Copies of this chain bind each other. A is one copy, B any other.
Amino acid sequence: MSIMWTVKVLGLGVVALSLSLELIGRLLRRLRPERTLNEVLFFPSEIACVEHIFTPSSPHSCFCLLPHDVETSFSRLLRRILSASSSLDLCVFAFSNMDMSRAIVALHSRGVTIRVISDKDYAAITGSQIGVLRKAGICVRCNVASVYMHHKFAVVDGRLLITGSLNWTLTAVQSNMENVLVTEEPDLVRPFIKEFHRIWEHNDPTQHRRSSDQRPARGTTRLETD
């Protein structure tokens, strides 16, 4: 009888132990936080051909003299931008980089919803890509206020934030010392989404047209079209 009981107790112990281990394993898997994407890119970027990023189906189609198949800060940044599948909200002070403009137009032609906010003074200078975007049918709004719109951020698919010191210019990418931070951290992404919405609504040209219609005297409000 006593041997039987010992066997039963040991059996019970083994079952309890295996159940506990299973339970702990499940808890561990559930509680381990999923790795949030956080990446920092520094510039100036090495100068290399980025044609393969635009034409991934034929990666060896370019015969230019720049180095090929080189992963650079700029190529990583371009990939992040081109990863957009539903929307891209861009709020950038200076935008004259033709590769970045090509990426935005490519996304637009793929059906990605693009909204761009830019600084009204910079948008008007020679080399600015804002006109190219507008010609492609992309919605662009420029800040109405007389202050600098000095942001340089983008939100991809409402979940990925790209922000930093880097204006979207060739000089910034190839010459300056700059940083770009790429993150999916919701506490960082959410405020930028909210701020984009605020600036976008604040610079709605239809609203400004209406308010200037109501004001017969010469106003200082600048009219911008989408």
User: Would you call the interface of chain A mostly helix, strand, loop, or mixed?
Assistant: mixed
- Contact present for A163 and B177 (CB under 8 Å): no
Q: Does A153 contact B (CB under 8 A)?
A: yes
- Give the interface residue-count category, chain A: 35 or more
Chain B nearest CB, measured from A87 CB (Å) = 20
B185 near A38 (CB under 8 angstroms)?
Answer: yes
Q: Is the CB of B1 within 8 A of A187?
A: no
Per-residue CB contact flags for chain A residues 149-181 toward chain B (1 = under 8 Å, else 0) read 111110000000001111000011001111101
Within 8 Å CB of A143, what residues of B? 177
Residues 22-67 (chain A) with a chain B CB within 8 angstroms:
23-24, 27-28, 31-33, 38-40, 42, 44
B residues in contact with A172, CB < 8 Å: 150
- Closest chain-B Cβ to A177's Cβ sits at a distance in Å of 5
Q: Which of A2, A23, A93, A181 gathers most chain B CB within 10 Å?
A: A181
C-alpha spacing A187/B191, complex, angstroms = 20
| A183 and B179 contact, Cβ closer than 8 Å, known pairs A9-B9, A152-B165 | no
A179 near B165 (CB under 8 angstroms)?
A: no
CB of A12 within 8 A of chain B?
A: yes
